[in-house]
Amino acid sequence: MRGPTLRATGLVTVVLAGLLGSAFALGRSLVPEHPPSNAGATTALNGPRYADQPPSTDFPGGRATAGPSPDAAPDAAPVEPGGDGPYGTLVATGSSRVALTFDDGPDPRWTPQVLALLAQYGVKATFCVVGENAEAHPDLIRSIVAEGHTLCNHSWEHDVNLGKRSAATIRADILRTNDAILAAVPHARIAYYRQPGGAWTHPVVSACADLGLTPLHWSVDPSDWKAPGALAIETLIRTQLAPGSIVLMHDAGGDRSGTVAALQQLLPEMLVRFELESLPVGPQ
């Protein structure tokens, strides 16, 4: 009797286990699945860089279309500096001369290459520098000034939405960048300000007027921040270049090998067609 009893007990155990497993599976099927949570996920180390950020969608064409953010101060009376760009910004040199401008630096890899090419052809340009980069690379700010180029304030950390913030925040950002430049070159003349992404607003232009800075836009944009390659950059600049143009390029914010290669081809051609200048820093 002992053997049959054990076999019967084992059979009952197997049957019960099967029934319990079926019930558990049925219960699981009745519970809706939840997607895995992203809580605690970290941002990729290689996040967006300055020039990889397109203009804010709140400012198509450099003009504000959306309402101000909660932090923004109401627009004061419109300030028109006298230029033909968004909010009266400067988009032309005012003469037949062409101005080359370089944004987002200084960068220890690309800025020296741009400076070397400009020196090779005896060309002066305008460098729109980001405050935190100026603070990190004061030696490059000194090189830019020593080689006779013009400096332009390009905000502290390339915040394309800076123009939507309060007047006090905008002013503090611009002054902080000026301070970083002046820490490197105490007697540097900073005559221009360029808004990241071309996202101009009346408060930004008003801050420029208050601080004695000319708001600087552009008329030729090869979109080299997208790193489309040297040929694409060259072609667009050749197509759009005209007397009085202000050309936008970048010496930081990503891989600028295409910009450097394009510049190497374009500089001798430009010098045949135009006189190239750095934007003046004296009375306008």
Which residues are designated catalytic? Answer: 103, 250
How many helices (H) and strands (E) are present in the chain, helices listed first? Answer: 8, 7
Q: What is the C-alpha separation between 124 and 112, in angstroms, rounded?
A: 14
DSSP letter, residue 157: S
Structure tokens at 88: 């009266």
Buried b (16+ CB within 10 A) or exposed e, 185-217: beebebbbbbbbbbbbbbbbbbbbeeeebbbbb
For residue 101, the cross-strand partners are 126, 248
Check whether the bond before 70 is cis (ω within 30° of 0).
Answer: no
CA–CA distances in Å: residue 2 to residues 6, 11, 13, 68, 164 = 6, 14, 17, 87, 87
Structure tokens at 137: 């690379």
Q: What is the C-alpha separation between 122 and 134, in angstroms, rounded?
A: 24
Closest by CA to 123, choosing from 277, 269, 270, is 277
